[in-house]
Amino acid sequence: MKKFRFIRLSLVVAVLFSTNVIAQQNPKEVIYIKSARFATPLIEKWASEYQKANPQIEVKFAGGQSSEGDIDLSFISSDNEGRTENGNQVVSYTGRYALLPVTNANNPLLNELDRKRLNGKMLEDLFFNNDILDENPEPSNKQKHDITIYSGTNITSFAGVFASHFGYSTADIRGRKISGDDIFLMNAIQKDHTGITFNNLSYIFDIETRGLKNGLALIPLDIKKEQREILQQADIDKAITLLEKERISLIPVENIGFVYQENNIPAKRFLKWILSEGQKYNQEYGFLKAEETILSAQLKEIEDLLLTASF
């Protein structure tokens, strides 16, 4: 009986040992991603769901010291970032984000801003030129209104996209500059009743409650009545649904995606999953889906690349 137990124990140890050896011989395939802070929660969701469906794959975020050669997917937050002279690199757009102007909920000018409902010219004057609410701009007189414009200076700031949408450069944005991630713009105007800025939906809205973050209010825009009424509800899901269906000239909408090497098979498989299965998570994290025409074209391109690589 003791001999039988010893043999059985030996078999168990042998199985565990061989399993461990096999695991070491077949480590998980790792995909390294370089991301931006504002998109990280969405990318983490994509990664976790992809890993559930593909347990042999591990998706990791590349550290600051990682070399370009170690990165499989480099995140981009504008079309300009996607342009490359490297013929072996490919760009894939996996979603979009929208920028809205926002202010402190206790801003004493909100009633007047609501009455004026800013059109394109007024928005440009507000962020790039003179104070549109100052009816007597002569320097000898005290301004009628106090307004403090805040914008970001970080390389991943939305300032460039916002300025470019209205035909300006980042340097043309007036007011105070905040270094670091654009999430700090929200902190600035929550503390400053005169503060006005612009930001993406995932920073303006609370992803858990789906409403505006505490102390914030959207600046009313001069758009169609039905569009304005939807935005006035301050519901992120309704805002995303609207912006996915309609183009509104006063609201910049920009692509997000990744740059990758054409011969990187694991990266292409992950992107194919994002484009086909992962789009359903975009809205949950404050992003729009990729445009349908772009989505279809990219899926076909990746499938063709994967098919070519299999031969």
- Give the model confidence (pLDDT) of 47-84 as tens digits: 999 999 999 999 999 976 566 678 999 999 988 776 65
Residue 10, pLDDT above cutoff 50: no
Domains of the chain: residue spans and CATH: 2-97+254-309 (3.40.190.10), 98-253 (3.40.190.10)
Residue 138, pLDDT above cutoff 50: no
Once rounded to an integer, what is the mean pLDDT over residues 172-184?
96
Antiparallel, parallel or unpaired: β 195-200 and 73-76: unpaired
61 forms beta bridges with 33
Please provide the average confidence, as pLDDT, over all residues in the chain: 87
pLDDT in tens, 251-281: 999 999 999 998 999 999 999 999 999 999 9
- Would you state the pLDDT for residue 230? 98
> At 136, is the pLDDT very low, low, confident or very high (cuts 50, 70, 90)?
very low
Q: Which of 297, 286, 128 is nearest to 203 (CA)?
A: 286
- Would you state the pLDDT for residue 137? 44
Residue 19, pLDDT above cutoff 80: no
Q: Which of 186, 191, 110 is nearest to 145 (CA)?
A: 110
Once rounded to an integer, what is the mean pLDDT over residues 105-126?
92
* Amino acid symbol at 151: S
User: In the chain, pLDDT over 70 holds for what percent of residues?
Assistant: 82
Q: Which two tokens stand for residue 287?
A: 């992003």
pLDDT in tens, 198-232: 999 999 999 999 999 999 999 999 999 999 999 99
* Amino acid symbol at 288: L
Residue 144, pLDDT above cutoff 50: no
- Would you state the pLDDT for residue 131? 55
Considering the entire predicted model, what is its pTM? 0.85
Residue 161, pLDDT above cutoff 60: yes
Once rounded to an integer, what is the mean pLDDT over residues 98-112?
95
| Distance between CA atoms of residues 263 and 284, nearest Å | 32
